[in-house]
Amino acid sequence: MAGSPYASALGRLKSHLPSILPKESYGPLVAAKDLVEVTKLLETTPYGPEIAQSAASYHGAPLLELAVNRVLVLRNRLAYESTPFAGRALVGAYLRRWDLQNIGIILAAKAQGRPIGETETALVSARDIPAGLVAGTMTLDDLRLLLQQPTLDAVAQGLVKFGYGGALLPRMEAYNRTHDIFPLLAALDRFYYEDLLSSARFYQGDEWVVRLLIQSEIDVRNALLLLKGKDAGLAVETVLERFIDGGTFLRASVAEAYGGRTVGEVVAALEPRFPALPEGDELYKTGRSLAGYEAALVRERAVRELKRLRAYPLSVGVVFAFLLLAEFERGDLRRLVYGKLYLVAPADIQRELVVPRL
C-alpha cells in the first residue's frame, strides 16, 4: 500500500483539515444572539474572505448562505483535484448532487414564481465556479440561463443537453395538470442515485466503501419519506411511487413498516434498522416537527460512515471522508443560520447539529 495513488491525496487533504471548523466553535455560534453576531464570529474563520466579498451587496441570512455555499464548492474542487485519475469518475458523479440541488432550487422557484435575484443567491456556487463544474457539468451561466426561462417546461427543455431533461420531460404533462413539483424532484433524485451507484462499480477494489455510503444515504432518504408520508396522511401507493431503490432498505419492506396508524408507530417499526430514530420523538410530540428525526438519522449515519471511510485512508474513501466533513459543516451552519433567523431556541438548534456529535 506504500505505492498507493491515494497517498498524495491523503497528504493534501489532511493539510486542509484545520480549515474545517472544530466542534468547539459551534457553542459560541449557537449562543450568538442574532445573525449579526454569527457573522462576526465566522469572519475569523475560512468563511471570512467570502463574507467580505459579498458584504457590500448582501447581509443576514443571504450573505451567510452565499459564504457557506462558496466555501463548500471550493472544498469540493480541492477534493476532486486531489483525486487520482482512477477515482475521478466516481467523485465527479457524486459531486453532480450539487447540480441536481441547483436544478431543484430553480424548478421550485419557477413553480412558485420567485424572482431571479432571490433565487440566484440560494444556488450552490462559488462566484463563477458552481459545484458541478468540477465534475465537468453545468456552469453558473448555464444556471442563470435556466433561471431566465419563462416557464418550468422551458427549464426542462433546457436541461436536455446536460442529460437531466430525460428525467423531467415525461413527467411535465402530469405536472401541468397537478402543479405538484415533488414527482419532478423525485425523478431527478432517482436519476442521480442510479448513475452514482453505476459509477461505484468495483473497478479498483476500494469502491465498496463508497457503495455503502451511497446506500446509507438512500436508506435515510427512504426512512424520511415514510415519516413524511405518514405525517401527511399519504397512501402507501403514493409513498412507493416516491421510493428510491438501491439502498439496503428494500421496497418490499415498505408496506409492513408503513402499516402503523401514526408517525410514532412507523418510528417503532423502523427503529431496529435506525436505532437513533426515537431521538426525534420529543420534538415531534411537542411541535409536530420531523426535523428531530432527520437530525437523528443524519447524525447516526455520519458517525458510522466517517468511521468506516477513515478506516481505509489509502483509498477513494479518504476523498469521501473529506467531502462528508465539508457537507456536514455546511448542513450545520445552515441549520444554525436559519434557526437564528426564525428565532429557534438555542437548545433546539444544538439538538439538531451533527458535527458536535462526531
pLDDT tens by residue, 275-316? 999 999 998 998 899 989 999 999 999 999 999 998 888 888
pTM of this structure: 0.89
Give Cβ neighbours of residue 223 (< 8 Å, ≥ 6 apart).
249, 270, 273, 274, 277, 297
Residue 206 has phi, psi (to 5 degrees) of: -110, 5
- Rounded to whole angstroms, how far apart are CA atoms 349 and 229? 25
Q: How would you label 9-35 residue by residue, b for 16+ Cβ within 10 Å and e otherwise?
A: bbebbeebeeebbeeebbeebbebeeb
Which pLDDT score, from 0 to 100, does residue 313 have?
A: 83
Q: Residue 125: beta bridge partners?
A: 130
Domain boundaries, the chain: 1-83+317-358, 95-123+134-200, 207-311
Give Cβ neighbours of residue 255 (< 8 Å, ≥ 6 apart).
236
- Rounded to whole angstroms, how far apart are CA atoms 164 and 103? 9
Tell me, what DSSP letter sits at residue 180? -
Residue 125: its H or E element: strand 125-126
Amino acid at 43: E
Q: Cα angle vertex 218, ends 311, 333, to 5°? A: 75
Q: What is the CA radius of gyration of the chain?
A: 20
Amino acid at 126: A
- Rounded to whole angstroms, how far apart are CA atoms 244 and 247? 8
Q: Residue 129: beta bridge partners?
A: 126
Return the CATH number of the domain spanning residue range 1-83+317-358: 1.10.132.50
What value does the mean pLDDT of the chain take? 89
Which pLDDT score, from 0 to 100, does residue 143 have?
A: 82
Is residue 64 within 8 A of residue 333, CB to CB? The reply is: yes
67 to 29, 43, 47, 127, 235: CA distances (angstroms): 16, 10, 6, 10, 41
- Residue that the C-alpha cell 469540493 belongs to: 76
Query: pLDDT per position in the chain (358 positions), as tens?
Result: 456 788 888 899 999 999 999 999 999 999 999 999 999 999 999 999 999 998 998 999 999 998 998 899 889 999 999 998 888 889 999 998 988 888 998 898 888 887 776 677 677 765 555 544 454 467 778 888 888 898 899 999 999 988 899 999 999 999 999 999 988 999 999 999 999 999 887 656 677 889 999 999 999 999 999 999 999 999 999 999 899 999 999 999 999 999 999 999 999 999 999 999 999 999 899 889 998 999 999 999 999 999 999 888 888 899 999 999 999 999 999 999 999 999 999 998 998 899 998 8
Q: Helix (H, G, I), strand (E, B), or coil: what is residue 344?
A: coil
Count the Cβ atoms, other than its own, within 10 Å of residue 196.
21
Residue among 188, 190, 192, 178 nearest 135 (CA): 192
All three cell numbers of 171: 413527467
Residue 126: its H or E element: strand 125-126
Which pLDDT score, from 0 to 100, does residue 1 have?
A: 44
Q: Residue 130: beta bridge partners?
A: 125
Which pLDDT score, from 0 to 100, does residue 41 have?
A: 97
> Which runs of consecutive H residues, i.e. helices, occur in the chain?
7-16, 26-31, 35-42, 48-54, 60-82, 85-112, 116-120, 140-147, 152-158, 165-168, 172-178, 182-199, 208-232, 236-242, 254-257, 263-270, 281-287, 291-310, 317-341, 346-352
How do beta strands 125-126 and 129-130 pair?
antiparallel
Is residue 275 within 8 A of residue 300, CB to CB? The reply is: yes
Which pLDDT score, from 0 to 100, does residue 284 have?
A: 93
Q: Cα angle vertex 302, ends 3, 263, to 5°? A: 150
Is residue 156 within 8 A of residue 168, CB to CB? The reply is: yes
- Residue that the C-alpha cell 457524486 belongs to: 94
